[in-house]
């Protein structure tokens, strides 16, 4: 199996190093990842200007671009093979509920999914994370499972792993995404004095709101790994007829 590995924390982040180490024991791994931290880049692509890609060793490239750039360029031109799977992360911090909309980790796996390649986005639930090896071993376990028992295509999994030693994990549950409260208020910085310019800072994500045991938030709270199958179609099917009637 040939696996393309990417992330949004940068190609030297501890999470991706742990992931590569674990996956290399069971598959051929190629890394194409951003040069530096591009967290919360979502699915943004660099268009209208060139993207510089550096060779950093055998089957390892770092990209002056976004997580989605990495997978997009890797699959559509850079690599001389088509990956069987895209695995991203291990992200430094959780990607639960609404986070999946903003996450570059999820977006990099999603970019593969858009191109017809299955994907797994891996995140560690504490920031700064400590037990990246735990999440990397969980990823390797999922890949081993897929080798013996493939899932019907296409598929995309969002996986969050509690930041604990592997022996302390309480299990694994397949659950839906929860929801967060509104994010914390944005803050204005008043130290900056430049005529006509204001400086604001976006604060942390909101606390969990919809976080029952059937959600990713509730699962993580019980020290279990959460696995959520994702889709991309944003159509609100139950509103199609209502909006059509409104327009008629
Ligand atoms: Mn990140």
The predicted pLDDT at position 173 comes to 98
Residue 10 near residue 37 (C-beta atoms within 8 A): yes
Instruction: Tell me how far the alpha carbon of residue 16 lies from the centroid of ligand 1, in angstroms.
Output: 11
Q: How far is CA 176 from CA 63, 74, 215, 248, in A?
A: 33, 30, 5, 35
Q: How far apart are CA 36 and CA 159, in angstroms?
A: 22
Q: How far is CA 180 from CA 50, 106, 112, in A?
A: 37, 17, 27
* Lowest pLDDT segment from 21-35, 74-88, 202-216: 202-216
Instruction: Tell me how far the alpha carbon of residue 91 lies from the centroid of ligand 1, in angstroms.
Output: 5
Residue 160 near residue 95 (C-beta atoms within 8 A): yes
Model pLDDT for residues 13-22, shown as the tens digit of each residue: 999 999 999 9
Q: How far apart are CA 68 and CA 106, in angstroms?
A: 9
Is the model's pLDDT at 205 over the cut of 90?
no
Mean pLDDT of the region 142-164? 97
Q: What percent of the chain has pLDDT over 90?
A: 92
* Exposure string over 17-44, b if 16+ CB within 10 A, otherwise e: bbbbebbeeebebbbbbbbeebbbbbbe
Instruction: Tell me how far the alpha carbon of residue 90 lies from the centroid of ligand 1, in angstroms.
Output: 8
Instruction: Tell me how far the alpha carbon of residue 128 lies from the centroid of ligand 1, in angstroms.
Output: 10
Give burial (CB, 10 Å; 0-12/13-18/19+) of 14. Answer: middle
Instruction: Tell me how far the alpha carbon of residue 196 lies from the centroid of ligand 1, in angstroms.
Output: 32
State whether residue 94 is helix, strand or coil.
coil
Q: Enter the pTM of the model.
A: 0.96
Tokens standing for 184?
């914390």
Q: Does domain 2-179+209-247 have CATH number 3.40.1210.10?
A: yes
Instruction: Tell me how far the alpha carbon of residue 202 lies from the centroid of ligand 1, in angstroms.
Output: 15
Instruction: Tell me how far the alpha carbon of residue 148 lies from the centroid of ligand 1, in angstroms.
Output: 30
The predicted pLDDT at position 2 comes to 98
Domain ranges of the chain: 2-179+209-247
Residue 226 bridge partners (DSSP): 160, 173
Q: How far apart are CA 53 and CA 69, in angstroms?
A: 10
Is the model's pLDDT at 191 over the cut of 90?
no
Is the model's pLDDT at 222 over the cut of 90?
yes
Instruction: Tell me how far the alpha carbon of residue 133 lies from the centroid of ligand 1, in angstroms.
Output: 16
Q: How confident is the model at residue 192 (pLDDT cuts 50, 70, 90)?
A: confident
The predicted pLDDT at position 190 comes to 84
Q: How far apart are CA 230 and CA 225, in angstroms?
A: 16
Model pLDDT for residues 19-64, shown as the tens digit of each residue: 999 999 999 999 999 999 999 999 999 999 999 999 999 999 999 9
Instruction: Tell me how far the alpha carbon of residue 246 lies from the centroid of ligand 1, in angstroms.
Output: 42
Instruction: Tell me how far the alpha carbon of residue 94 lies from the centroid of ligand 1, in angstroms.
Output: 9
Q: How far apart are CA 88 and CA 108, in angstroms?
A: 7
Instruction: Tell me how far the alpha carbon of residue 240 lies from the centroid of ligand 1, in angstroms.
Output: 35
Is the model's pLDDT at 97 over the cut of 90?
yes
Instruction: Tell me how far the alpha carbon of residue 124 lies from the centroid of ligand 1, in angstroms.
Output: 10
Instruction: Tell me how far the alpha carbon of residue 191 lies from the centroid of ligand 1, in angstroms.
Output: 28
Give burial (CB, 10 Å; 0-12/13-18/19+) of 221. Answer: middle
The predicted pLDDT at position 185 comes to 86
Instruction: Tell me how far the alpha carbon of residue 145 lies from the centroid of ligand 1, in angstroms.
Output: 26
């Amino acid at each position: 199996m040939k696996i393309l590995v990417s992330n949004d924390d940068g190609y030297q982040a501890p999470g991706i190093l742990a992931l590569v180490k674990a996956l290399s024991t069971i598959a051929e791994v190629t890394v194409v990842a951003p040069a530096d931290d591009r967290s919360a880049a979502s699915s943004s692509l660099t268009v209208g200007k060139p993207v510089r890609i550096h060779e950093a060793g055998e089957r390892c490239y770092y990209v002056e671009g976004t997580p989605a750039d990495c997978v997009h360029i890797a699959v559509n031109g850079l690599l001389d093979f088509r990956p069987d799977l895209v695995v991203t992360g291990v992200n430094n911090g959780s990607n639960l509920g609404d986070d999946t909309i903003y996450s570059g980790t999820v977006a990099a796996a999603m970019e593969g999914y858009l191109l017809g390649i299955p994907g797994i986005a891996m995140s560690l639930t504490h920031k700064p994370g400590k037990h990246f090896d735990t999440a990397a071993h969980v990823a390797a376990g999922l890949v081993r499972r897929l080798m013996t028992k493939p899932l019907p295509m296409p598929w995309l999994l969002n996986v969050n792993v509690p930041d604990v030693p592997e022996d302390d994990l309480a299990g694994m549950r397949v659950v839906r995404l929860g929801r967060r409260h509104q994010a914390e208020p944005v803050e204005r910085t008043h130290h900056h004095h430049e005529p006509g310019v204001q400086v604001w800072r976006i604060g942390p994500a909101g606390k969990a709101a919809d976080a029952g045991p059937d959600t990713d938030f509730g699962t993580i709270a019980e020290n279990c790994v959460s696995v959520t199958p994702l889709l991309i179609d944003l159509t609100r099917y139950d509103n199609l007829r209502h909006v059509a009637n409104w327009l008629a």
